[in-house]
Amino acid sequence: MSLTDEKQEQLGFKFFIASMVASLGLLIYLSFFGPGVNSLDQIAELQEETGVPEFDVEEVEKPWLASPEMVLEGKAVYAGAGTCASCHGVKGEAGIPGIAARNLIEGQWRNGGSSIALFNTLVDGISGTSMVSFKDSLSVNQRWALVHFIRSITKNRPDDNPAELSAFGEQNL
């Protein structure tokens, strides 16, 4: 092996080590310190780039009215740690062994599937079952966001009476 070959090989090896260190560093950064990648972050980023103001659910003045943003917010709350997905399944399909939670897609509602009825279920829970009240753990607007998310995935979505819904919403802000 000539001297230049050896030098080249050393250089190659150094380069290899440097790239390993760099990618490991990047991996550690992304895993522990990075901003994280999820669809909501990406949406927020897109909104920033396009000049659309970031969505803050608590700023919504009439949270009982459905919108794509509210559905997305509801989806995020639904999937949040210890909230709904752990009993009702990632997609609302239920079927988790040992948990008799309602299949939200089929929507065989006991208390009704109107927006008001679903909101009331989240306030009151269903006594005698593991479906507890989310009155204290979620804000009013988060509960409405969940209602809109559930109504976006269920097959059983009875029509709301808009006037009744507005009146109820105003009273329960």
Q: CB under 8 Å to 128, separation ≥6 — which residues? A: none
Residue 33 Cβ, how far from ligand HEC at the closest point, in Å?
Answer: 31
Q: How far is it, in rounded angstroms, from Cα 149 to Cα 31? A: 30
Least separation in angstroms between CB 16 and ligand HEC: 50
Residue number, 60 or 75, with CB nearest to ligand HEC: 75
115 or 121: CB nearest ligand HEC: 121
Report whether 118 contacts 164 (CB < 8 A).
Answer: no
Considering the complex, what minimum distance in angstroms separates the CB of residue 37 from ligand HEC? 25
Pick 48 or 106: Cβ nearer ligand HEC: 106
**Dihedral sign from CA coordinates of 57, 63, 65, 71:** positive
Measured from the CB atom, the residue of 60 and 147 that comes closer to ligand HEC is 147
CA–CA distances in Å: residue 31 to residues 37, 41, 80, 122: 10, 15, 19, 35
Query: Least CB distance from residue 50 to ligand HEC, whole Å?
Result: 31
Work out how close the CB of 143 gets to ligand HEC at its nearest, in angstroms, rounded to a whole number: 8
Tell me the C-alpha distance between 40 and 22, whole Å. Answer: 28
Characterize 51-63 residue by residue with b for buried, 16 or more Cβ atoms within 10 angstroms of its Cβ, and e for exposed. Answer: eeeebebeebeeb
Instruction: Give the dihedral of Cα atoms 115, 127, 88, 71; nearest 10 deg.
Output: 20
Binding site for ligand HEC (CB under 6 A): 83-84, 86-88, 99-102, 109-111, 118, 121-122, 126, 129-131, 134, 146, 150
Nearer to ligand HEC, 8 or 156 (CB): 156
